[in-house]
Amino acid sequence: MTDLSVRLGSLTLRNPLIPASGTFGFGQEFLPWYDLDLLGAISFKGTTAEARFGNPTPRIAECPAGMLNSVGLQNPGVDHVIAEELPALRRVFHGPIIANISGFSIEEYVRCAEKLTREEQVEILEINISCPNVRHGGMAFGTDPSAAAAVTRAVREVATKPVYMKLSPNVTDIVSIARACEDAGADGLSLINTLLGMRIDLKRRRPVLANSVGGYSGPGIFPVALRMVWQVTGAVSVPVIGMGGISTAWDVLEMLMAGAKAVQIGAANLVDPMACPHILESLPAEMEKLGIRSLSEITRV
């Protein structure tokens, strides 16, 4: 009998699988497919202070071994999420809920964190610092250690729930960003977010995406994600949730061996809505092949 449970800080998850923010909505879309209580946790759609329509279309493009998206944080705003989406999700899912927060200023991050940390349904605040800092020329908060630390510190001051910083891979040294977040009070880290990429429409001679560039996700980025998780978990003492191109049980095991305590499944959900149940179903057999009785045995110390 294999033990799929994992420890994520003070939380125990029944298994390490978490649908990644932006690929699972607020859970309702997947109800026709399976019982959400199969999952270890859920990270819901990135939420901002105000409702956002998102970027102009087209904002999705296919590419080898993955996809590009430039959705632009489309969401109904934090007040609607608290009033409508969170209660609806809790009625159908009884595991830990991770509130993914996005913002374009430190004040916006704090405003959302203050509201969501008060919600009983929320177990973890996941802070997406891949957003552009509109007050400082549009550079993403997560590409500069001091900016990443500033967001972490501000959110940590108002949060009563664990704060996990979601890191951008579009940097030269992700370890310095991770350490800055840990030093500023982060309880954990999530990585990686999408890599920047683009496609050209040869017939129109212009970018496929209306926004020109977008986030590249899917199996093609898995080796990059694995490398970054390995580097970060070797440099920090807080727990790490690994993500980026995970689509099989083997990928899950690799990511845990690289040091992640749990994993998030992203683009695979968009290809196959049954991706998480399929991975979960095959995980025990793959563990038995490798002589693994418990996932806690393989997590890098």
Among 2, 85, 30, 56, smallest CA distance to 265 is for 30
Q: For residue 131, indicate whether it is catalytic.
A: yes
Residue 112: name the closest of 47, 189, 161, 164 by CA.
47
Catalytic hit among 112, 131, 181, 276: 131
Q: Exposed (0-12), middle (13-18) or buried (19+): which is 227, by Cβ within 10 Å? A: middle
Which sequence positions are flagged as catalytic? 131
